[in-house]
Amino acid sequence: MPQPDHVMAFPIPDEAALDEDLKAYYAKCLEKLGLVPNVIRAYSLRPKKLRNFIATYNELMLGDSGLSKLEREMIAVTVSAANRCYYCLVAHGQAVRRLADDPELGEMLAFNHRVARLPPHQRAMLDFAWRLTTEPHMVGDAERAALRGQGFSDEDIFDICDVVGFFNMSNRVASGVDMMPNRDYHAMNR
């Protein structure tokens, strides 16, 4: 059975009714991505929250960090796998395929990050992300020390935690509103 056709369980505002800054953001998405991600369309139900989402996402995923863009996307997929978030697995799995130029890596991370052949520092990062998602009460000094032992700075560890936290929140919103990924993602970068 194909993926449902809706963006989410609630109606989304007509693009023509959006404020000018959000219309401009939609246009920028179309120019850069060839589509407006459904997460943006869904958040348009609450324009102020959409602006906050955009600012936070852009800072975490595109801003300065010791983590590469690929590593941040790998964290997004690993967290989303733990949470079984269909939207983020599809959307960020595509981003991993694109950034890694590897059509298999996104799927490996989506199903089980442990099967992917990764350098030890990325394996440690994803193991930490998985644990912080599934057993946050078990994360302590030993887990942070293990990341330091793989060359991550305190700032890098903070960024890992920040990305993990953001995607745990995003996964819950996406699941709660039955958000569906853009169908285009399925065929991209294969």
Q: What is the pLDDT of residues 104-126, one digit of tens each?
A: 999 999 999 999 999 999 999 99
- Give the whole-angstrom CA distance, residue 126 versus residue 132: 10
Q: What is the pLDDT of residues 34-54, one digit of tens each?
A: 999 999 999 999 999 999 999
- Give the whole-angstrom CA distance, residue 35 versus residue 38: 9
Give every residue of the chain whose pLDDT is below 50, as ranges. none
Model confidence pTM above 0.85: yes
**Percentage of the chain lying above the pLDDT 70 cut:** 100
- Give the whole-angstrom CA distance, residue 174 versus residue 102: 26
Q: Which of 166, 152, 84, 92 is nearest to 119 (CA)?
A: 152
Instruction: Classify burial at 113, counting beta carbons within 10 Å of its beta carbon; exposed 0-12, middle 13-18, buried 19 or more.
Output: buried
pLDDT at 104: 93
Going by the DSSP 8-state scheme, the letter that residue 5 receives in this structure is S
pLDDT at 2: 85
Domains present along the chain, CATH in parentheses: 15-62 (1.20.5), 69-186 (1.20.1290.10)
